[in-house]
């Protein structure tokens, strides 16, 4: 305990900042993955695993087929293309 405080006091400033920054990044990654796992658990309990798998694979397939990235509209706002923008084709492009 005392050795930790002494090391923290006498450590170079760049080393302290680097370790604190690394700890913050790791903590944020951990919080992000915890949020994803909890939200996926909730979604699986609501709709079931296979429904979400089907929706996500179809979404990725639409993105792959259309090669969609950020598309610039006339007023300069970036719009993302989704399957529900084409109601007459039932999502099949």
Coil/strand/helix, residue 92: coil
Kindly report, residue by residue over 57-77, the tens digit of the pLDDT: 777 776 666 555 544 444 444
Number of domains in the chain: 2
Lowest mean pLDDT, pick from 1-5, 19-23, 44-48: 1-5
Same-domain pairing of 17 and 31: yes
Total length of the chain: 93
Same-domain pairing of 54 and 80: yes
pLDDT of residue 14: 66
Predicted structure pTM score: 0.35
Range of the domain at 34: 1-47
pLDDT of residue 38: 86
pLDDT of residue 76: 44
Mean pLDDT, the chain, whole residue set: 69
Tokens encoding 57: 């694979």
DSSP per-residue string spanning 15-69 = HHHHHHHHHHHHHHHHHHHHHHHHHHHHHHHHH-HHHHHHHHHHHHHHHHHHT--
């Amino acid at each position: 305990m005392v050795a930790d405080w002494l090391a923290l006091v006498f450590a170079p400033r760049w080393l302290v900042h680097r370790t604190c920054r690394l700890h913050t990044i790791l903590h944020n990654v951990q919080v992000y993955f915890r949020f994803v796992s909890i939200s996926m658990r909730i979604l699986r309990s609501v709709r079931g695993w296979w429904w979400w798998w089907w929706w996500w694979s179809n979404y990725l397939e639409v993105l792959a087929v259309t090669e969609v990235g950020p598309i610039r509209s006339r007023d300069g706002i970036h719009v993302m293309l989704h399957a529900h923008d084409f109601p007459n084709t039932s999502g099949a492009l």
